[in-house]
Copies of this chain bind each other. A is one copy, B any other.
Amino acid sequence: MLWFIGLGISGIDGISSNTLKIIKKADVIFLENFTSPIGKQEVSKIEKLVRRKFKIAPRWMVEDGKTILLEAKRKTVVLLSYGDPYVATTHIELRTRAETEKIGTRTIHGASAITSLVGECGLHHYKIGRPVTIMREISSLTTVYYTIYENLIRDSHSILILEYNSDTNFFLGPKEAFSNLLLTEGSQKRNVINESIFAMVASRIGTKNQSIIAGKLSSLMDADFGKPPHTIIIPGKLHFTEDDAIKTLAKCLDDPSDNSSKIQKISQQMLLKYLPKARKALEEVQRQFKDNKDVQPIIENAHLYLDDAEKFQKEGKDELAVLSVGYAEGLIDALRLSKGIDPWAQSL
């Protein structure tokens, strides 16, 4: 029998007597501390309470799994972890392998750090986009950058989990993460990250000295976040109750601001550029061809398609809007080309 037990985020205070009983009775107790750090003091408090010693299970042991599964075949084994056990994909894999080998598994879920910090930051859960981990290597930031971009486009908040390595006790700091994001903006140039975007740093969530500091990147670069662990949130569009909550629950170095409103979809950027240009070109062409009856259907259609493009844009049908503006430009430029006018020498 293999128990997966999540200890939650509040140490001894968050563990039920039922859970303590299960730990006490187990034959072997492993403590996994590589997905999230658990304070040594908290661990020895729990050990004292259940009068047992925990074996540390490093990453290789959980990934390899053999030792734990071998024990669990004949004995009752408990694998303890911080937060909720299955937030770590390694634990789901171990459970799958156990079940495949006919070893029974049981689970006690715990409060997860990620889930808890969303609420502590005053943010709405249904607005959380796909989360992403920032590693220290700059090359890993491209995925992070586009995840933030995609989330912002959809008005969603981005949770950026910072690299933690239990072997070397390495925690990626928020400031290094911000610097690397700014460097990535320099190479990707989609106007996603700059010094004035609003971000939040949630530190030590669930402990007595948790802190949430929020502000523009430029302000956060000078802030002191204290000891790790830290998590960064880049909020998207803020509901007014989220705005109120952030001001009340976080230490705000700057007022919250809407990062999503500053970002534009690539298609929106194109429409903003091409729609007015096409309107202007159409006016010119209309003057040039006003005496040519044969081409009036072409001009009429160009008008209709530009109107359609605007309508589609308003309805959020960006792809159709782009197709329509392209089509209208094609109609217009065919007329210009037929008169020997080079459309690319002009404004278009």
In the complex formed, the residue of B with least CB distance to A243 is B96
Q: Is A18 an interface residue (CB 8 A)?
A: yes
Tell me the complex Cα distance, A120–B84, Å.
11
Stretch at the interface among A107-115, A191-199, A226-234: A107-115
In the complex formed, the residue of B with least CB distance to A87 is B125
The count of residues in chain A whose C-beta lies closer than 8 Å to any C-beta of chain B is 88
**Chain A interface SS verdict (over half):** helix
User: Could you tell me if A84 and B115 are in contact, using CB atoms closer than 8 angstroms?
Assistant: yes
Contact of A96 among B89, B118, B245, B337 (CB under 8 A): B245
Tell me the complex Cα distance, A110–B14, Å.
8
In the complex formed, the residue of B with least CB distance to A132 is B126
Q: Is A319 an interface residue (CB 8 A)?
A: yes
User: Could you tell me if B114 and A111 are in contact, using CB atoms closer than 8 angstroms?
Assistant: no
Q: Is A2 an interface residue (CB 8 A)?
A: no
| Interfacial chain B residues near A114, Cβ < 8 Å | 115, 125
Q: Is A92 an interface residue (CB 8 A)?
A: yes
The 11 sampled A-B contact pairs (Cβ below 8 Å) are A14-B108, A17-B17, A87-B115, A89-B125, A89-B241, A95-B245, A126-B131, A301-B337, A322-B326, A323-B326, A330-B333
